[in-house]
Copies of this chain bind each other. A is one copy, B any other.
Amino acid sequence: MLNKFLAHIQSEIAQLSYGEKPKELYEPISYLMKLGGKRLRPALTLMAYNLFKEDWETATKPALAIEVFHNFTLMHDDIMDEAPLRRGKATVHEKWNRDVAILSGDVMLVAAYELLSEVPDARFKQVLKRFNRTAAEVCEGQQYDMNFATRNNVTEAEYIEMIRLKTSVLLGFALELGGMAANQDVVVTNQLFEIGENLGIGFQLKDDMLDVYGDPEKFGKQVGGDIIENKKTWLMLKAIEKSKGKPEEKELKEWIDKKVFNSEKKVAAVTDIYNRLGIHELAEAEMNIYFKKGFDGIDGFPVAEERKTMLREFGKYLLKRDR
């Protein structure tokens, strides 16, 4: 069934039209949307709708709105990060130019609003309000992420709040939206949001771990990329905290401060520090807290057991994934 959802989403994305002319404005949107990705977010919307109703195709447009919005954030984030590649292909600002990436991104956000309007009329204002809040929070998360790059006193709590905003509120909203499209009341849609929010924080912590401990064959990105960039992930922040007063404190600081280094050596050395400090296990435990909250939310969710199977399986896939 999940595969059916994903196939449906793929085929709908292949057919989506955002506009015709000028082509510099609209081609980058199709280009980025067709680069692929896991399509987790629209799948969550369809799954949430399907918790209540059989005609899940009805939620297609809102589900696509979430995916278009997500890709809009990628187009603009890639400019800010000066990223040359996205899913192994040239980013929009590289393939076209910066101005095209700014403006196409803007139109993409408008396109997300347009797709979002295909929900029952009576719920539309509520959907919009919640989407507006979510969209603003995603931007807040991105700004915090950028601010953290130049700060040396980021706390664990600040980091969790940053990934909550940048990543997990959108997963939460993806589920909530499916519930709203299926005309569920606010108590139920809030529960859906919380399930997605918790799974989302777990999902991002998993991502941080895969960056260090992932199998290079499967992960797709350069393993250790966060370490090379001194990115303040949960693992790095925890290592800084746990190394205090130990030999690893100086060692870690030296690697962080090094301007010229061999990337492979830095990744190996910092990973070794993480291992000596038991960071992987601590991160696993932290991740499990959020996944457990998510699964508890699914357990207590007020629909028949058999309807919840897919969402639970999907949560397990997010927990176990190796790419």
Do A125 and B135 touch (CB < 8 A)?
A: no
Nearest B-chain residue to A142, judged by Cβ: B103
Nearest B-chain residue to A147, judged by Cβ: B22
Known A21-B140, A80-B99: A125·B121 in contact at CB below 8 Å? yes
- Per the bound structure, the CA–CA distance linking A260 and B264 in Å amounts to 50
Do A146 and B99 touch (CB < 8 A)?
A: yes
Do A125 and B136 touch (CB < 8 A)?
A: no
- A258 interface contact, C-beta 8 A: no
Q: What per-residue 1/0 map shows which CB atoms of A129-143 lie under 8 Å from chain B? A: 100100110011011
B-facing residues in A110-158 (Cβ within 8 Å): 110-111, 113-114, 117, 121, 124-125, 128-129, 132, 135-136, 139-140, 142-144, 146-147
Set of chain B residues within 8 Å of A105, measured between Cβ atoms: 106
Nearest B-chain residue to A126, judged by Cβ: B117
Set of chain B residues within 8 Å of A114, measured between Cβ atoms: 129, 132
- A174 interface contact, C-beta 8 A: no
Set of chain B residues within 8 Å of A19, measured between Cβ atoms: 136, 140
Known A24-B147, A103-B76: A113·B128 in contact at CB below 8 Å? yes
Known A113-B132, A132-B114, A144-B22: A76·B106 in contact at CB below 8 Å? yes
Count identical subunits in the complex.
2
| Minimum C-beta distance from A90 to chain B (A) | 19
Known A102-B79, A103-B76: A132·B146 in contact at CB below 8 Å? no
| Minimum C-beta distance from A107 to chain B (A) | 5
Majority SS of interface residues in chain A? helix
- Per the bound structure, the CA–CA distance linking A227 and B25 in Å amounts to 27
- Per the bound structure, the CA–CA distance linking A140 and B125 in Å amounts to 27
- A256 interface contact, C-beta 8 A: no
| Minimum C-beta distance from A137 to chain B (A) | 9
Nearest B-chain residue to A115, judged by Cβ: B132
- Per the bound structure, the CA–CA distance linking A113 and B21 in Å amounts to 24
- A237 interface contact, C-beta 8 A: no
Known A19-B136, A99-B80, A135-B110: A129·B143 in contact at CB below 8 Å? no
| Minimum C-beta distance from A252 to chain B (A) | 27
- A109 interface contact, C-beta 8 A: yes
Do A107 and B136 touch (CB < 8 A)?
A: yes
- Per the bound structure, the CA–CA distance linking A57 and B102 in Å amounts to 35
B-facing residues in A4-34 (Cβ within 8 Å): 19, 21-22, 24-25
Given contacts A24-B147, A111-B136, 17 further A-B contacts (CB under 8 A): A22-B140, A22-B143, A25-B143, A76-B103, A79-B99, A80-B98, A80-B102, A99-B146, A103-B143, A107-B136, A107-B139, A107-B140, A109-B110, A113-B113, A114-B132, A117-B128, A124-B125
Residue pairs across A and B with Cβ atoms less than 8 A apart, 8 shown, are A22-B140, A24-B143, A99-B146, A102-B102, A106-B139, A110-B132, A113-B132, A114-B129
